[in-house]
Structure 1
Amino acid sequence: MAERVAGPEIEKLIQLLARLPGLGPRSARRAALHLIRKREELLAPLSDAMRVARERIVTCTACGNIDTADPCTICRDPRRDPSVVVVVETVADLWALERAGVVRGHYHVLGGTLSPLDGIGPDDLNLSGFAERIVAESVKEVILAVNATVDGQTTAHYVTDLVSHLDLLVTRLAHGVPVGGELDYLDEGTLAAALRARTAF
């Protein structure tokens, strides 16, 4: 068994950092050492920012986004079109669409996807009251911006069924060749989806 080379406080910091996505034990050790070396310029401000985040960040009860206000900044923005709701799996997906600057409607964050193998059912997602929200806000189009995975598509079908009795348009993101993509590097599923979704040139 390897000997402990740091005190319990540093070990605890490393263990917590190792829980973050994309950080394994080695990366966590490097990050911890860097933070400790730059205590005043990094560790102290990071600690303060995390405390503020813990105290002030809330989940928007309307859409599921995270913000320091409820409803969130996006839901309160009068320039947005409330008749369009984009359904996404996670807040990270919402942020990606916002960075692209292509959505002028509202969002609905599911908090994951249906996954029977992992025991994740409809009650585990942010779906309670979804159909009622669509009616209350006079939504005309629901855009399904979920991942092109088996679980993502299962979730898309479930969401479609929830609003199938309503008079609205349900669309999904196109799947296929990415901008700047080369055919030789794409998998067969992506190529097949691109061919099925071809448009006039």
Structure 2
Amino acid sequence: MFSPKFDELVQALRILPSVGPKSAQRMALNLIMKNKERAEILANALHDAVNHIQTCSICHSLTEDDICSICQAYDREDSLLCVVESPADVMAIEQTGSFRGKYHVLGGRLSPLDGIGPEEIGIPALMARLQQGQIEEVILATNATVEGQATAHYLLEACKHLPLRMTRIAQGVPQGGELEYVDSHTLGQALHQRLQFK
């Protein structure tokens, strides 16, 4: 339309969630016409993030180092592990200030119809971590979606032979909801009111 580079920018912006062609075009126009300096800052920040952020070798959350700051923290409970689907869920729980254990990020949830099984979401890495014997309680904090519930049930069955207390975050999180969109108070309450998962 305006130029091949502009069209390229519009297409690049469309990879963002919920950004359609019109929204991408408005963003591109705003960046180019009104915010060139900020566009440069955005480009540099995106470049740095892509080149320096990786997954933690222990919990699989985001970090710039081999091991994230939460896994390295001495003031957190090593025996308490919260299993979540994504780094966004870690961020949501951390914002509550209610959890002092450690995390394991699955990197997704089971969805057989989409060909996503235990291997695709890193369940073997979680099981290896649990078999080391340091963890006493596992909080299953997968999302309250059908796939999230199926993932929690799969993990419960897979861990039956281990000497662990398995809990599930309390339902204060709406059914079908995503953790990253739940307010901090509700999520904090859900963590405190977790129940034995049977």
Which band: TM-score by shorter chain? 0.7 to 0.9
Instruction: Within 5 Å, give how 1:18-97 maps onto structure 2.
Output: 18-97=14-93
Identify unmatched segments of 5+ residues in structure 1. 179-196
1:107 aligns to 2:122 (yes or no): no
C-alpha distance in 2 between matches for 1:36 and 1:137? 55
8 Å Cα contact 1:86/1:145 also seen in 2: yes
Structure 2 residue ranges without an equivalent (≥5): 175-192
TM-score normalised according to structure 1 size: 0.82
The answer for the alignment partner of 1:182 in structure 2 is none
Q: CA RMSD in A?
A: 1.8
The 8 Å contact of residues 81 and 104 in structure 1, kept in 2 or not, is answered as yes
* 1:135 counterpart = 2:131: yes
Q: Deviations over 1:46-81 (max 9, x none)?
A: 111111112211111111101111111111111111
4+ runs of 1 displaced by more than 3 Å? none
Partner secondary structure for residue 136 of structure 1: coil
Distance 2:172 2:33 in 1: 46
Question: Are the aligned partners of 2:144 and 2:173 in contact in 1 as well (CA < 8 Å)?
Answer: no
Q: By how many angstroms is 1:103 displaced?
A: 1.3
Could you say which structure has the greater relative contact order, defined with CA pairs below 8 angstroms and 6 or more residues apart?
Answer: 2
The aligned amino acid for 2:10 is I
Q: How many residues are paired up? A: 176
Contact between 1:64 and 1:126, CA under 8 Å: does it hold in 2?
no
Q: Matched residues in 1 for 2:122 and 2:134: separation?
A: 19
Paired position in structure 2 for 1:120: 116
Aligned to 1:17: 13
Residue number among 150, 153, 156 corresponding to 1:154 in the alignment: 150
Alpha carbons 1:80, 1:104 under 8 Å: kept: yes
Task: Give a deviation string over 1:11-41, Cα, whole Å, max 9, x none.
Answer: 1111111110121111111111111124443
Q: What amino acid does structure 1 have at the position aligned with 2:122?
A: N
Identity %: 45
